[in-house]
């Protein structure tokens, strides 16, 4: 007797779409691929982030400790364990971005919510030495395609500062957004100063874009 699945297109497995190795995609900078973060990434992760403090720090949330302390090699094992655990729980997809096989950044799909919302957020960072070479756009596109396909999500969001024009352009390209609306919300502080924020959102079965301008409660 042959069994028939009631929902033939529904992703299967406890945490569908994870773990996964995605790509590669060829861009001007080389071959871009995504794979789960690894414990042995620590040395490269720390070297990139410490060198790129001026490139990365303005766009990241304020946290305890100095940049050097938070991004020291000794910090990576604990972070990796947390990311791996989140992946195993199905609440995140922590990808390392590779260019021609070497680690150059991360794409993080987090706060994965299953039925009924089927949503998540996307965040990313990349080595300043490979910017403007199509690397980030390709990496985000690979992650979005995985999320709206094998992972089975219907909505993804990415929050950026409106003055971060490069990131807005990458999201527009990667998410292929076609409509816009405005709404107000309350967001946290970024880099210790009040700022408005833009939230980009893509939806399966009809793409959408939301620009959310918000103010720190201190203003």
Contacts of 84 (CB under 8 A, 6+ apart): 36, 37, 94
Has residue 214 got a pLDDT over 80? no
Has residue 129 got a pLDDT over 70? yes
Which pLDDT belongs to residue 63? 87
pLDDT (tens digit, 9 = 90+) per residue, 149-199? Answer: 999 998 888 766 566 556 555 555 544 432 232 232 223 333 433 333 344
Which pLDDT belongs to residue 188? 36
Residue with tokens 């590669």: 24
Q: Which sequence spans correspond to the domains of the chain?
A: 22-214
| pLDDT grade for 216, boundaries at 50, 70 and 90 | very low
Q: Which CATH number fits the domain 22-214, given the four candidates 3.90.1170.50, 3.30.70.20, 3.40.50.300, 3.40.630.30?
A: 3.40.630.30
For helices 135-148 and 165-175, angle between their N-to-C axes, nearest 10 degrees: 40
Has residue 206 got a pLDDT over 70? no
Q: Return the minimum-mean-pLDDT range out of 110-114, 137-141, 181-185.
A: 181-185
Cβ count within 10 A of residue 35? 16
- Asked if residue 112 lies in contact with residue 150, where contact means CB atoms within 8 angstroms, the answer is no
Say which residue, 162 or 49, is predicted with more confidence: 49
Greatest C-alpha distance within the chain: 67
| pLDDT grade for 80, boundaries at 50, 70 and 90 | very high
Which pLDDT belongs to residue 97? 98
């Amino acid at each position: 007797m042959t069994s028939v699945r009631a929902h033939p297109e529904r992703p299967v497995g406890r945490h569908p779409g994870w773990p996964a190795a995605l790509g590669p995609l060829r861009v001007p900078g080389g071959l871009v691929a995504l794979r789960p973060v690894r414990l042995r990434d620590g040395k490269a992760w720390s070297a990139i982030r410490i060198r790129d403090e001026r490139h990365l720090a303005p766009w990241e949330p304020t946290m305890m400790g100095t940049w050097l302390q938070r991004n020291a090699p000794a910090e990576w094992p604990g972070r990796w364990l947390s990311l791996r655990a989140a992946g195993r729980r199905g609440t995140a997809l922590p990808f390392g971005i590779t260019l021609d096989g070497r680690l150059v950044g991360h794409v993080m799909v987090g706060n994965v919510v299953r039925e009924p919302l089927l949503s998540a957020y996307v965040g990313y960072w990349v080595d300043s030495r490979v910017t403007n070479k199509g690397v980030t756009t390709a990496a985000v596109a690979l992650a979005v395609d995985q999320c709206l396909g094998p992972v089975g999500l219907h909505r993804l969001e990415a929050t950026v500062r409106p003055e971060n024009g490069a990131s807005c352009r990458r999201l527009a390209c990667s998410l292929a957004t076609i409509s816009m609306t405005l709404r107000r919300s309350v967001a946290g502080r970024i880099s210790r100063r009040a700022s408005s924020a833009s939230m980009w959102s893509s939806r399966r079965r009809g793409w959408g874009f939301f620009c959310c301008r918000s103010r720190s409660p201190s203003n």
